[in-house]
Amino acid sequence: MSGHAARTATADVVCLGESMVTFLPSQPGRLADVPSFARGIGGAESNVACALAAAGHRAAWVGRVGADGFGDHLVEAITGYGVDTSAVRRDPDRPTGIYFRTATDRATDAHEVAYYRAGSAASAMSPHNVPYESVLAGRVLHLSGITAALSADCLALLDDLTAPRENRPLISFDVNHRPGLWRGGDAGPAVLLGLARRSDLVFVGEDEAEEAWGLHGAGAIRAALPEPALLVVKRGADGVTVFSRAGDRARDTVTDVPSLHVDVVAAVGAGDAFAAGFLSATLRDLPVRDRARHGHLMAAAVLTVPGDLTGPPPRAHADRLAALDDEAWGTLRLGPGWTAAAGANEEVRIT
């Protein structure tokens, strides 16, 4: 964060994007067979904001919701996590987006999601109706490729926010390739590549890089994305590879950080939680290895609860775990309730 320290910021992180009301199934099965749903909130960027606020950072979410009850619920729920929502705009003519999903892992063929977001209030975000004074007020601006896919206006907004500008915040970009959102052509992969190359910190999964760009392996991804000072390649169960450099002409430092052993309750929300943990440690100027470990720990907190959001582990507890030597890190196994284990490391370890 040293290269961005000179700018006065009123927030640690500003997250911009669409948040939706999500309906979670009361039991496993096809959407056609689920009898009832519980209401929650969902949205990659607002998830990151909520996790960062819960971890003690000054986080803001900027978005656009309808002037309807679902919009009321979103703003109230996100504010309840301690997130600044004062820059959220209400659209009198367009609805708040909603979606329904099944209980199965998103990576399986059995997983179903029914989105009702076409023409949503968030899809009308543009450079002309988003409050730039609020969007650019953080030390970090966190964006994702989902927003770029919502409409031509949303893409124009992300193009403008990632363009070079004097004294801009650190631009964090989660690729979040969602092929189903890129209708009417195959422009999505090229758009996402361009946005990533103009960002400072990029999160991308090996699987989505292969699907979007035909790239295989972390090295090939770095070769295609040489500009970001920090590139985090997520390799699933194998952990992450982080490419980092201190200046434009500096050589990359490559840091591999294994994943944790986690007793998964629900495989949702982990990517957003990882980004929040990594950003939290970045704000604290921790070493790259520890940034990735905090990402893994925040992801483990979400993976061991049923929903997309949960409280993070206490900072001191997470710091102790992140500081373990490689052998001890490799023996950790985290299950439901582990975030409450604020005592000795052995409370969450297996040997």
Burial class of residue 88, CB neighbours in 10 A (0-12, 13-18, 19+): buried
Query: 254: helix, coil or strand?
Result: strand
Q: What angle do CA 144, 212, 229 make, to 5 degrees?
A: 55
- The CA-atom distances, in angstroms, between 286 and each of 1, 2, 7, 11, 293 are 10, 12, 20, 19, 10
- The CA-atom distances, in angstroms, between 94 and each of 50, 66, 80, 111, 112 are 25, 6, 24, 28, 25
| Alpha carbon distance 51, 48 (integer Å) | 5
Q: Is 153 left (phi over 0), alpha (psi -120 to 50) or beta?
A: alpha
Active site includes 272? yes
Among 84, 174, 272, 290, the active-site one is: 272
Would you name the residues annotated as active-site residues? 272
